[in-house]
């Protein structure tokens, strides 16, 4: 079981890119309605797949540098990082079963 953790510009490289476990980063903002809908789905997946996947949350209003560096133009954006590189990207609301299927296709 894995609880989501917050990342920001200063901690992104070590916490996400340096992780041995794949990390699904939820790029979000407090004012974003669809972000509020996808957040519990992402967190549930993290709890269910915690042995093979970590969940990080990055508030784009507070960490604009990382959001710009990874070209996050719409939120919610979910980016899966594996071995320090982007392995998958999904923009907009994702249903739980769809997101699980997409993650399984990437993670194996």
**Other beta carbons within 10 Å of 3:** 10
pLDDT per residue as tens digits for the range 37-84: 999 999 999 999 888 999 999 999 999 999 999 999 999 999 999 999
Could you tell me the end-to-end alpha-carbon distance of the chain, in angstroms, rounded to an integer? Answer: 19
- Indicate which residues carry an active-site annotation: 32, 35
Domain ranges of the chain: 5-101
Task: Report, at the CATH architecture level, how domain 5-101 is classified.
Answer: 3-Layer(aba) Sandwich (3.40)
pLDDT for res 51? 85
Kindly report the pTM of this predicted structure: 0.95
């Amino acid at each position: 079981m894995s609880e989501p953790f917050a990342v920001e510009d200063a901690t992104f490289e070590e916490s996400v890119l340096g992780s041995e476990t794949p990390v699904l980063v939820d790029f979000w903002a407090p004012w974003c309605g669809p972000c509020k809908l996808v957040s519990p789905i992402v967190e549930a997946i993290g709890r269910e797949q915690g042995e093979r996947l970590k969940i990080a949350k990055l508030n784009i209003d507070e960490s604009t540098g990382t959001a710009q560096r990874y070209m996050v133009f719409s939120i919610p954006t979910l980016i899966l990082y594996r071995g320090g590189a982007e392995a998958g990207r999904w923009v907009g609301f994702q249903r739980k079963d769809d997101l699980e299927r997409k993650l399984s296709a990437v993670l194996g």
